[in-house]
Structure 1
Amino acid sequence: MLSTLKILLNSLKMALQELRVNKLRTFLSLLGITIGIFCIIAVLTVTDSMESSIRNDLKSMGTNVVYLQKWPWDGDGEWWKYVNRPEPEYSQMKAIKEKVSTADAVTFLFSSGGRKIEYGPDYMENVELLATTMDLDKMQTMDIASGRYFSPSELTAGSNVVVLGANIWEGLFFSPEAAVGKIVRFSGRNVKVVGALKRKGESMLGGVFGDNTVIMPYLFARTIVDERRFADPFYMIRARADIPLGQMKDDLTGAMRAINRLKPTQDNDFALNEITTVQGELESVFGVLNTAGWLIAGFALIVGGFGIANIMFVTVKERTNIIGLKKAIGARPGIILLEFLLEAILLCLIGGGLGLLLVFSGTLIAKNMFSSFTIGLSTGNIILGFSISAIVGIVAGFIPAFSASRLDPVVAIRSN
């Protein structure tokens, strides 16, 4: 056993020495493995990070929430089917709450872009306005950096108060604490800042509001913007915790058909959208990306495998007399086979390690370029990268290693 370990250790030392002596040959042989591992692990890292971001977005937006809108999210571009539909109206809220007993929260919203906010001589343009009624904070995560969210009395009275997104208070006040309590002008109207939100970052699903948003009560916002002409108003309705979302959707469908006075033969003139619809479409995209990554990586790994097999055949050729000497002093064929297999695996692991290093470098660059998007090389992907490298090494190195183990010691010693 000790002699076997010594032989294997010496062979590994010889393999490392060969790497140093024949740098160009080794580099070209490892290039395919490096590219293959880089392709598959890079794709998996990006898709895993995106899926993680989507899961976090879904958690913050609520998977038990239905969006009642004019336009369906999966309308396939057939806008002419929906363009003449009526917009949801604020006046329908009371009827929805009364008829849909399976819902525990209902809010009416609209958004309008291209707005201007001012504080003294400073101003910001292209700001997004989000107008809302009660219950938005029950369905969306409101991470308050300073101040508070609207009180029920402010929402029902339509008070001239606002909550600022991170980009807004940062651009005008530099800190959330400095923003709270100030009077700012929004679209020419004086409003009081009662809260400032923490930075939300970019969202894969978009979300109801972002860092460039000013939130205000609907009854005040409607004095600034006519949502029926300049916005797409919608409802967010949350199902009760003990009620399946499908059941609440059925109740909501019946309620809206009654509210809109639709005949039994008429199609729905509204859309009930779910976040899971977008999630399913994005997951199918991720599946295509993963498949493409595996295909590209497969071709690169095949080329890399041939490169490793080639360098191992050359190595066997160069060490033929050494193999003969080892067999002459008692080295069994299995030891010779294992020796060259380990060398092939070592080569592939080095190539895979270089590919993983490239992926890791790419994640660092991506973090600096896209600070709001979290991307990282997971332990699982690192293990997968090295495992694929080892498998390629075994497959590519087996035939050269087997041919070395079958050499006749007398013939091998006499070879030049």
Structure 2
Amino acid sequence: MIATIKILWSSLKMAVQELRVNKLRTFLSLLGITIGIFCIIAVLTATNSLESNVRNDLAALGNDVIFVQKWPWEGGPDAPWWKYMNRPLPEYKELKYIQDKVHSASAAAFAFSSGNKRIEYKNDYMEGVDFMAVTQDYDKVQQISISAGHFFIGKENDGSSNVAIIGANLWEGLFGSAEAALGKTIRIEGRPTRIIGVLKKKGSSMLDIVSYDNIVIVPYKYGRTIVDERRYADPYILVKTAPTSTMPEMKDELRGVIRAVHRLRPTMEDNFSLNEITSATDDLNGVFAAINMGGFFIAFFALVVGGFGIANIMFVTVKERTSIIGLKKAIGAKRSVILMEFLIESILLCIVGGTIGLLLVFMGTLVANSLSTFVVTLTLSNIILGLTISAFVGMVAGFIPAFSASKLDAVVAIRSN
């Protein structure tokens, strides 16, 4: 056993020495496997990062929140849009019924949004601003990060209170700082409105369903005096599950309450949609699985080319060391030891190439993160996967050369030179 370990250790040192001496050959051998591992891990890193960013953006909307809307989120282009078109829009008065009757909910809010508004402050202005009107519990249902000031409270929810909360793009562009914006009066579509709160800078996201950086939020009753939500917006109700309840429980209770409000008979279909984030995230599984499969398919060919390159180099190595193999067999080295010697060298060669490929991917993530807000991460699982694939390719590519070396006759091998 000790003798075998010594032979293997000697073989490992010889393999390292071969890599150092034959630099050009080593470089050409590593190039194929490096490109292969780079391709497959780069694709996986990109798709995993994309999936993570999309899921985080969806989770920010609330995994425990149901959106009561006219249109469903699922269905695609084949959905019966003509049926949904005839559905009524959610109404503000329905919010009171939900708050009173849905006991499995912890909070509910009514909201609508409209884009492309003009915001003015003295001689400055910003165009293309998103406009949102919400009721007082909106901050309990959605993640609202206030940098300075406060959310709407008390009489500020009254239609006579012309107050607003603005996003980072607005307070940076019009005032320079969040603190400077507080208390100032802006004009929304010509209506004077006092700023009582400013939002923290969030940065762009993959989905930008709600762009809180480029938004002005006002109380609902004030907002409907600026925009007619029945004609120029898509109102919806947000309902958050209570900690002691489950989403299915609240969804069933919510459906029953809304059907009663809409006076639907038991045989009639729902004329509303109960949308939730989990249904959207479930659809992502198939999409990203297909993308990853495509990435594997592309990288497979690069790995095959790299594997043939490694196999070719190992055949050359066996040819060069034929006499040494004969001497080792003459002093008692078994076939399994010779086989393991060349397999170790092949695996080591591939792991080095794979490590270089992983380093290139890592440097790519650093560049990508410095140039955009899209977060790209090389995960530990992808690193382990890359090294595992490298070792597997090395084992497969090196097996036939190693097997042929182990079968050499000692006398014939010594006389080969």
Q: TM-score range by the shorter chain?
A: over 0.9
Cα deviation for residue 207 of structure 1 reads 4.2
Which residue pairs with 2:288 in the alignment? 286
Distance change >3 Å, CA 13–CA 102, structure 1 → 2: closer
Query: Letter of the aligned partner of 1:145 in structure 2?
Result: S
Q: Give the counterpart of 2:351 among 323, 330, 349.
A: 349
Cα deviation for residue 243 of structure 1 reads 1.7
Q: Give the counterpart of 1:8 among 3, 6, 11.
A: 11
Q: Show structure 1 runs of 5+ residues with no match.
A: none
Q: Indicate if the aligned counterparts of 1:107 and 1:235 stay in contact, CA closer than 8 A.
A: yes
Partners of 1:225 and 1:361 in 2: how far apart? Answer: 49
CA root-mean-square deviation: 2.1
Which residue pairs with 1:232 in the alignment? 234
Partners of 2:130 and 2:403 in 1: how far apart? Answer: 68
Cα deviation for residue 274 of structure 1 reads 0.6
Q: Indicate if the aligned counterparts of 1:130 and 1:213 stay in contact, CA closer than 8 A.
A: yes
Q: Indicate if the aligned counterparts of 2:114 and 2:233 stay in contact, CA closer than 8 A.
A: yes
Which residue pairs with 1:44 in the alignment? 44
Partners of 1:152 and 1:186 in 2: how far apart? Answer: 22
Query: Letter of the aligned partner of 1:241 in structure 2?
Result: P
Paired-residue identity, %: 57
Query: Letter of the aligned partner of 1:124 in structure 2?
Result: M
Q: TM-score, normalised by structure 2?
A: 0.92
List per-residue Cα deviations over 1:342-361 (Å, max 9, x = no partner). 21112111221222122112
Cα deviation for residue 60 of structure 1 reads 3.1
Distance change >3 Å, CA 290–CA 26, structure 1 → 2: same
Q: Give the counterpart of 2:100 among 92, 98, 101.
A: 98
Cα deviation for residue 261 of structure 1 reads 2.1
Partners of 1:18 and 1:345 in 2: how far apart? Answer: 18
Which residue pairs with 2:313 in the alignment? 311
Q: Secondary structure at the match of 2:103?
A: coil
Cα deviation for residue 330 of structure 1 reads 4.2
Query: Letter of the aligned partner of 1:260 in structure 2?
Result: H
Q: Indicate if the aligned counterparts of 2:108 and 2:141 stay in contact, CA closer than 8 A.
A: no
Cα deviation for residue 206 of structure 1 reads 3.7
List per-residue Cα deviations over 1:255-295 (Å, max 9, x = no partner). 22222222333222111111111111122211111222222
Paired residues for 1:172-211 under 5 Å: 172-211=174-213
List per-residue Cα deviations over 1:55-89 (Å, max 9, x = no partner). 53354322121101111111323321211211111
Q: Secondary structure at the match of 2:85?
A: coil
Query: Letter of the aligned partner of 1:172 in structure 2?
Result: L
Partners of 2:95 and 2:141 in 1: how far apart? Answer: 16
Partners of 2:261 and 2:88 in 1: how far apart? Answer: 12
Which residue pairs with 2:20 in the alignment? 17
Partners of 1:6 and 1:63 in 2: how far apart? Answer: 55
Partners of 2:21 and 2:271 in 1: how far apart? Answer: 74
Q: Indicate if the aligned counterparts of 2:33 and 2:390 stay in contact, CA closer than 8 A.
A: yes
Which residue pairs with 1:394 in the alignment? 395
Partners of 1:178 and 1:54 in 2: how far apart? Answer: 34
Partners of 1:50 and 1:139 in 2: how far apart? Answer: 26
Q: Secondary structure at the match of 1:4?
A: helix
Q: Secondary structure at the match of 1:211?
A: helix
Which residue pairs with 1:145 in the alignment? 147
Q: Give the counterpart of 1:322 among 315, 324, 346.
A: 324
Distance change >3 Å, CA 336–CA 216, structure 1 → 2: same
Partners of 2:187 and 2:387 in 1: how far apart? Answer: 58
Partners of 2:151 and 2:324 in 1: how far apart? Answer: 79
Which residue pairs with 1:63 in the alignment? 63
Q: Secondary structure at the match of 1:374?
A: coil
Cα deviation for residue 310 of structure 1 reads 1.4
Which residue pairs with 1:251 in the alignment? 253
List per-residue Cα deviations over 1:309-329 (Å, max 9, x = no partner). 111111111221232233334
List per-residue Cα deviations over 1:19-58 (Å, max 9, x = no partner). 41xx2x4444333322322232223222332343345335
Distance change >3 Å, CA 339–CA 411, structure 1 → 2: same
Q: Indicate if the aligned counterparts of 2:33 and 2:302 stay in contact, CA closer than 8 A.
A: yes
Q: Indicate if the aligned counterparts of 1:110 and 1:227 stay in contact, CA closer than 8 A.
A: yes
- Counterpart check, 1:415 vs 2:412: no
Distance change >3 Å, CA 159–CA 17, structure 1 → 2: same
Partners of 1:36 and 1:28 in 2: how far apart? Answer: 13
Which residue pairs with 2:361 in the alignment? 359
Q: Indicate if the aligned counterparts of 1:111 and 1:233 stay in contact, CA closer than 8 A.
A: yes
Query: Letter of the aligned partner of 1:246 in structure 2?
Result: P
- Counterpart check, 1:132 vs 2:131: no
Q: Indicate if the aligned counterparts of 1:40 and 1:293 stay in contact, CA closer than 8 A.
A: yes
Cα deviation for residue 398 of structure 1 reads 1.5
Distance change >3 Å, CA 9–CA 274, structure 1 → 2: closer
Cα deviation for residue 114 of structure 1 reads 0.5
Q: Secondary structure at the match of 2:76?
A: coil
Q: Indicate if the aligned counterparts of 1:341 and 1:397 stay in contact, CA closer than 8 A.
A: yes
Partners of 2:32 and 2:411 in 1: how far apart? Answer: 37
Partners of 2:143 and 2:108 in 1: how far apart? Answer: 15
Q: TM-score, normalised by structure 1?
A: 0.92
